[in-house]
Amino acid sequence: MIFIIALMNGSENKELLQVILGRIRECGRISFAEFMELVLYHPLHGYYQSPREKIGAGGDYYTSPNVHPIFGHLIARQIHEMWRALGRPLLFVIAEMGAGKGLLCSDIVHYCRDHLPDFYEAITYILAEKSPAFRQEQQSLLREFLTDGKIIWLDPDRLLAGEKPFSGCFLSNELVDSFPVHLVQRQEGQLREIYVTHDGKTFLEISDSLSTPALEEYFASHGLPLREEQRAEVNLRALEWMERVSRTLQRGFVLTIDYGFMAAELYTPARRDGTLIGYFRHTTSSNPYQRIGYQDLTSHVNFSALIEKGEAVGLNKIGYTEQYKFLTALGLLQDLEELEKLSTSYSPAEFFRNKLAMRSFLIPEGMGSLFKVLGQSKGLGKLDLRGFQDPFLPPKD
């Protein structure tokens, strides 16, 4: 049994800390997945439940919808193509989990109302939200759409219960990276799990036998063998989520946008310490035991696992690409050209602010390549959606 001291420093949510310590006293130790679940999702004190600012300049991190509305506009074009692929049904549901402040939803429905009126008439937008703070922000931002019933709120567990399957698109942007993960490490040729305990002064990490055989099975099915002393995250929750999404979707599409890699790149020996990271006031930390309740925790997504699990539950891969290619295929460069043509309609400061924000999506080493887009379908034949075509190849005849 190996102990690794994990020092705490900085302020933390005292109530949440006591909840975690109480759980450790009760069990002796908890898996890192349980620790992360409590830190992020405790119903009273978890990071995502708190009213403190989390997203944007005054928060801990940015998301693509914070950068510019064009992100949501381009997503709307892709979902509109999905609607046409389904035969233009009179009811098309867009269900979004992990919507944060609701910016992506706002940009999508505004674009549809202003540019795709027939599609706008068909859509119902479901926001699956647990956080009271985020739900309040979403309702304030989207109040102009409430009177016509275009947007409704559901608890995520109720949505994913699969009791009322719908046709449409299941959308997420930076959701899967926030699921609690198990930590594992290969030691003396064996896969060991990292547990969390406390000695009265600080948190300690203990490596011991696996809490579930699913962790070993995960690497056999969705990963690569780890090297000696290599650590990695295992997102079992993502597999469960994929299965529940498939049960919820009667016919249509799943569009998943997040940062991550395919397994061969995610579990490379170069990532010896894994990808778990904390975000606080736009700075990163490798210490998950500090600023408890005030620091976001995330890990990179294993897209191989989402694709393989999806195939097993009836979700067929349409495409997988880098975000900058996806947005370019949907017309980002043409929108930049249009902005240039209309430059005199803006003040110089406003024009350059818009131009720089839109161009930031094209930077390969930034959001453009770190974020990936996965498209899957259910109940449909072979599809060739615009967003997954290579924008740098000549158009097909």
Which residue type, as a one-letter code, is found at position 251?
R
How many whole angstroms separate alpha carbon 291 and alpha carbon 279?
10
Q: For residue 77, give Cα distances in angstroms to 58, 133, 347, 392.
A: 30, 29, 28, 19
Q: Is residue 256 part of a domain?
A: yes
How is residue 370 written in tokens?
Answer: 């770190």
Chain mean pLDDT for the chain:
90
How many whole angstroms separate alpha carbon 335 and alpha carbon 70?
8
pLDDT score of 65: 82
Q: Is residue 337 part of a domain?
A: no
- Helix (H) or strand (E) segment spanning residue 138: helix 132-141
Given a contact cutoff of 8 angstroms between Cβ atoms, the answer to whether 11 and 294 are in contact is yes
**C-alpha closest to that of 155 among 34, 28, 43:** 43
pLDDT-based confidence at 142, cuts 50/70/90?
very high
Give backbone dihedrals phi and psi of 180, rounded to 5 degrees, phi first.
-60, 140
From 183-197, 249-263, 287-301, 341-355, the region with the lowest mean pLDDT: 341-355
Given a contact cutoff of 8 angstroms between Cβ atoms, the answer to whether 254 and 245 are in contact is yes
How is residue 22 written in tokens?
Answer: 């109480």
Beta strand pairing status for 123-128 and 92-97? Answer: parallel
Q: Is residue 299 part of a domain?
A: yes
- Residue 142 or residue 60, greater confidence: 142
pLDDT digits (tens, 9 = 90+) for 158-211: 999 878 899 999 999 999 999 999 999 999 999 999 999 999 889 999 999 999
Q: Indicate whether 121 pLDDT > 90.
A: yes
How many whole angstroms separate alpha carbon 277 and alpha carbon 239?
21
Mean pLDDT of 11-27: 91
**C-alpha closest to that of 214 among 33, 14, 4:** 33
Helix or strand or coil: residue 68? coil
Q: Indicate whether 54 pLDDT > 70.
A: no
Q: Is residue 331 part of a domain?
A: no
pLDDT digits (tens, 9 = 90+) for 94-120: 999 988 889 999 999 999 999 999 999
Domain harbouring 305, CATH code: 3.40.50.12710
Q: Is residue 216 part of a domain?
A: yes
Q: Is residue 184 part of a domain?
A: yes
Helix or strand or coil: residue 190? strand
Helix or strand or coil: residue 373? strand
How many whole angstroms separate alpha carbon 223 and alpha carbon 267?
7
pLDDT score of 127: 96
pLDDT-based confidence at 124, cuts 50/70/90?
very high
Given a contact cutoff of 8 angstroms between Cβ atoms, the answer to whether 323 and 367 are in contact is yes
Q: Is residue 243 part of a domain?
A: yes
Q: Which residue has the tokens 């009271």?
A: 132
Q: Is residue 347 part of a domain?
A: no
Residues of the chain with pLDDT > 90, as a percent, come to 64
Computed on alpha carbons and rounded to an integer, the radius of gyration of the chain in Å comes to 22
Mean pLDDT of 121-125: 96
The alpha carbon dihedral of 105, 312, 272, 293 has a sign of positive
Q: Indicate whether 5 pLDDT > 60.
A: no
pLDDT-based confidence at 61, cuts 50/70/90?
low
- Total domains, the chain: 1
DSSP string, 154-209: E-HHHHTT-SS-EEEEEEEES-GGGS--EEEEEETTEEEEEEEEE-SSSEEEEEES
Domain that holds residue 204: 2-325+366-383
